[in-house]
Amino acid sequence: MAKKDADNAHEKPLDFNERRMQALAKENAQLRDYVSTMMERLRENDQLFSRLFALEASVLAAGDPEDMCFTLLRELRSQFSLDMVRIWLDRDSIIGSTPMHALSEQDLIWLEAGEIQNMGLAKRNVWLLQLKGGNFPWLQERDNDLGSIALLRLGSKEKPFGIIGLGSNDKERFKPEQSTDFLAHLAQVISLSLEHAISHQRLARLAITDALTNTHNRRFLQPHSHQSLSSWFGKGVMVAAMYFDMDDFKGLNDRLGHAAGDDALTELCSTIRRYVRAQDPIIRMGGDEFVLLLPSCDTEKAKQIGEKIRADISQLTCHGETLSVSIGLAFSSAEDDMTLNDLVKTADKAMYVAKALGGNRLECAATKD
């Protein structure tokens, strides 16, 4: 015991400067660790920003809402290594009438009015959720392996029009306590871009739509009128053009008024639509004249369609008067790649022949004059 006390007596106590140097060395080590951690986070954030900006650029470059959603789904999957990306859209919202044929049922699900609000998703920009036994009812059996999801609201709180779901099998990927700044910014960019694209598409559609009959108007044909038919419908595709003119339309207007005339035109267009495909263009050329274009429709089939439309119109009455229509029919063969303007003019001339022969007829002109 005496020897130990003697040894301790020989130990030299640390002076103030030495203790201070040791403390500084420890602080420096801690600072280096902190700086290293922060630099790693900065690198991760920089990569995240780069991917985010690339995604925004791709979305903004998309031409229409459908293309924008398709691009969004593809880029989110590839750039952010997600196990699930899905879009839910409100059928009753501004996007409800937008075609989305390029998106599969796995990528896009349509919601009915009020479903977003009923789920409480309209109240927040972003909702992070760790999954426990499928505790989010919009998920399906194929989503059973997901551990966490981020739900991004599209549109305002008052008028949400959709939700984007980002899912990961990693339960820690989207934890409720995490920051949502990046995701909130992304949701805002996507919302504004989609709203702009929808508005632009609607304005463009209105510019080429006849307000009364909801068919196309003459402006719809202008970009295509002097093009060859193959440049629009494809090489080697036979195209039929049907030109309609309501018989004695001026007399009907004079006797019954313009409201009756509008009803007659609406009946004509409704009858035409019953016999053609949704994508077959119907164009109001002015007054009571309409053109129907039938790509990939052979001669006999086009004649049958024309006769059925003419016969159905003859059975209709408008404000007590029987309706009738004269039809001119023209064709472009696969070998004769005429312009759209020539095809329509040929059908128009055939329609005037039908008029000259007494009206309520269908006349054919196989080739242009």
In one letter, which amino acid is 288? D
Candidates 351, 105, 321, 341; CA nearest to 218 is 341
DSSP-derived secondary structure for 45-112: HHHHHHHHHHHHHHHHH-SSHHHHHHHHHHHHHHHHT-SEEEEEEETTSTTTTS--TTS-TTTEEEE-
d(CA 342, CA 226): 8
d(CA 353, CA 344): 14
**Coil, strand or helix: which one is 252?**
helix
d(CA 197, CA 154): 14
Handedness of CA 61, 63, 69, 75 (dihedral sign): negative
DSSP state of 130: E
Residue with tokens 């095809």: 343
Active-site residue flag, 288: yes
Q: Catalytic residue, from 280, 288, 342, 348: name it.
A: 288
223-229 contacts, C-beta under 8 A, 24 or more apart? 224/340, 225/339, 225/340, 225/341, 225/344, 226/339, 226/340, 226/341, 227/339, 227/340, 228/337, 228/338, 228/339, 229/332, 229/337, 229/338, 229/339, 229/340, 229/343
**Coil, strand or helix: which one is 146?**
coil
Angle at 350 (CA atoms; ends 340, 319), nearest 5 degrees: 105
Residue with tokens 């004509």: 268
Q: Which residues of 182-200 are buried (b: 16+ CB within 10 A; e: fewer)?
A: bbeebbeebbebbbebbee
Helix (H) or strand (E) holding 277: none
Catalytic residues: 288
